[in-house]
């Protein structure tokens, strides 16, 4: 029998992974309004921006101002990406609840994305943990290119596990493995998390989902069976790294509404109100002119299918 957890956490990535990948700057007020809308779905946590250098990610150059304009809810954890200690200082000033300290296993990707080697970034993570000490701010390490890198191909599992070891030793509160390229498969996910929990029993481990190969819901199922209880997704599937090569437009995130659909239908509690999530997905798809980029947006739910039938019923 399939052994699924009673509940998992979902982290909404659209305001960071999505806005950074759009081909235009979304005005700060619209960003804040969309983030406030996303906070009404019942989601536990939102990665609402990235405190990175404005030249590295111009679309998120208004991170500090976004932090001021959003309306904070007590039941939502507001997380921000920090690529280094300088970003951490800005995030602390902005009053975030949690940071995503990004480390990338691939040296090639690290240098392109953060202008540092993996080892240098690991030093930054140690500084980020030190800066968080004595505050209420939690530190999650997001491990980029945990499975595949666009420049280096398949990343050997052992290299990713070494980075996991390092961030756990550094004292982070949570670790999230990212399928940056959306190419991981369920056996890779299972093998990786089995090792992670074996090396670090009780570690708070999450999976950041992209869906280039269409296996991300199968990966979610495999990860839940290993004990993973936190999943990063993005409404409308909007997202992807800023240093992905041209031509890789298909590397979207897993759509939050599709993830929420499967989890709701299979009785795994996420806190998300599925119908509200679906409505917000439609609204954001309209506002950002994204089209039908998920199965839910294409009408792939039992309620919508049966409504379609009812409206076409013969007299």
DSSP string, 274-307: HHHHHHHHHHHHHHHT--S-STTTTT-SHHHHHH
Write the DSSP symbol of residue 227.
T
Closest approach, Cβ 12 to a second copy, in A, equals 18
Q: How many Å apart are CA 288 and CA 309, to the nearest integer? A: 29
Q: Between β-strands 148-149 and 153-154, what pairing exists: parallel, antiparallel or unpaired?
A: antiparallel
- Interface residues with a second copy (CB under 8 A)? 1-2, 4, 148, 150-151, 153-154, 181-183, 185-188, 190, 194, 211-215, 217-218, 220-222, 225, 245-248, 250-251, 258, 261-262, 265-267, 294-296, 298-302, 305-306, 308-309, 311-313
Half-sphere exposure for 134 (CA within 13 Å, toward CB): 2
Half-sphere exposure for 277 (CA within 13 Å, toward CB): 30
N-term to C-term CA, the chain = 43
Write the DSSP symbol of residue 177.
E
Closest approach, Cβ 279 to a second copy, in A, equals 18
Closest approach, Cβ 304 to a second copy, in A, equals 9
**Helix/strand/coil (H, E, C) string of 250-277?**
CCCECEHHHHHHHHHHCCCECCCCHHHH
Contact residues for 120 (Cβ-Cβ < 8 A; gap 6+): none
CB nearer a second copy, residue 58 or residue 298 = 298
DSSP string, 116-128: S-HHHHHHHHHHH
CB nearer a second copy, residue 95 or residue 299 = 299
CB nearer a second copy, residue 120 or residue 307 = 307
CB nearer a second copy, residue 81 or residue 149 = 149
Closest approach, Cβ 299 to a second copy, in A, equals 6
CB nearer a second copy, residue 125 or residue 149 = 149
CB nearer a second copy, residue 169 or residue 218 = 218
Helix axes 118-132, 157-170, angle to 10 degrees: 30
Closest approach, Cβ 271 to a second copy, in A, equals 19
Closest approach, Cβ 218 to a second copy, in A, equals 4
Closest approach, Cβ 256 to a second copy, in A, equals 13
CB nearer a second copy, residue 76 or residue 259 = 259
270 near 10, Cβ under 8 Å?
A: yes
């Amino acid at each position: 029998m399939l052994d699924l957890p009673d509940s998992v956490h979902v982290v909404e990535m659209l305001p960071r992974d999505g806005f950074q990948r759009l081909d235009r700057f979304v005005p700060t007020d619209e960003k804040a309004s969309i983030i406030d809308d996303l906070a009404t779905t019942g989601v536990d946590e939102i990665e609402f921006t990235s405190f990175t250098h404005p030249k590295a990610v111009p679309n998120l150059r208004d991170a500090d101002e976004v932090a001021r304009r959003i309306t904070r809810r007590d039941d939502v954890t507001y997380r921000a990406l920090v690529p280094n200690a300088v970003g951490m200082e800005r995030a602390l000033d902005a009053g975030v609840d949690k940071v995503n300290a990004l480390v990338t296993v691939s040296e090639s990707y690290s240098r392109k994305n953060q202008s540092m080697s993996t080892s240098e970034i690991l030093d930054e993570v140690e500084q980020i943990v030190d800066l968080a000490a004595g505050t209420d701010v939690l530190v999650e390490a997001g491990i980029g290119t945990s499975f595949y890198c666009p420049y280096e191909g398949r990343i050997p599992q052992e290299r990713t596990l070494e980075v996991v070891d390092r961030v756990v030793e550094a004292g982070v509160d949570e670790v999230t493995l990212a399928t940056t390229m959306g190419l991981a498969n369920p056996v890779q996910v299972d093998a990786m998390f089995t090792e992670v929990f074996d090396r670090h029993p009780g570690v708070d481990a999450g999976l950041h989902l992209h869906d280039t190969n269409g296996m991300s819901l199968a990966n979610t199922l495999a990860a839940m069976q290993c004990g993973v209880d936190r999943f990063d997704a993005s409404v409308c599937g909007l997202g992807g790294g800023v240093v992905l090569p041209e031509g890789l437009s298909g590397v979207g995130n897993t759509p939050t509404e599709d993830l929420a659909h499967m989890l709701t239908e299979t009785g795994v509690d996420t806190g998300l109100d599925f119908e509200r999530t679906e409505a917000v997905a439609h609204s954001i798809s309209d506002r950002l002119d994204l089209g039908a980029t998920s199965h839910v947006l294409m009408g792939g739910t039992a309620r919508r299918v049966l409504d379609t039938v009812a409206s076409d019923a013969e007299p």
